[in-house]
Amino acid sequence: MGVPANTRETYGAIGIREDLSNIIYNISPMDTPFLNGVGRGSCDNTTFEWQTDTLSDTANNRQAEGNDYSSTAATEPRRLTNFTQISATQVQSSGTAEAVDFAGRKSTQAYQLPNALKN
């Protein structure tokens, strides 16, 4: 169906206000189920080491009836190392940035601080 001549359409109109959601969606994944489930501790040095060990594969433990059993060589635990790190994050907003009206937040400083702490 055609549009009547001289009909003002929105496609070329100037001055239409934007339709901006007042919510900011954080799409960066921050769920860390493994880290959340691991206990917390402290270290007394800048280098922290720990040991891990694993059980042998159950398929290797299968024996036939009447078989002469042989001993399996013992395995030593594995030693792992990690280093501590000092992190620093600074957030600074100008007075003007705090005074203007941003969509999705009342204060740019209050919005940026928790995001900076996630890094």
* Structural domain boundaries in the chain: 91-119
Which parts of the chain register pLDDT below 70?
29-30, 35, 58-60, 119
pLDDT for res 29: 67
pLDDT for res 91: 85
User: Taking the complete model, does pTM exceed 0.75, yes or no?
Assistant: no
* Virtual torsion, Cα 13, 105, 108, 20, nearest 10 deg: -20
| Strand pairing category for 47-52 and 78-83 | antiparallel
Q: What is the number of other CB atoms lying within 10 angstroms of the CB of residue 13?
A: 8
**By CB neighbour count within 10 A (0-12 exposed, 13-18 middle, 19+ buried), where does 111 fall?**
middle
What percent of the chain has a predicted confidence (pLDDT) above 70? 93
Gap between the Cα atoms of 52 and 1, Å rounded:
73
pLDDT for res 8: 79
| pLDDT tens digit sequence for 59-86 | 667 777 777 777 777 778 888 888 888 8
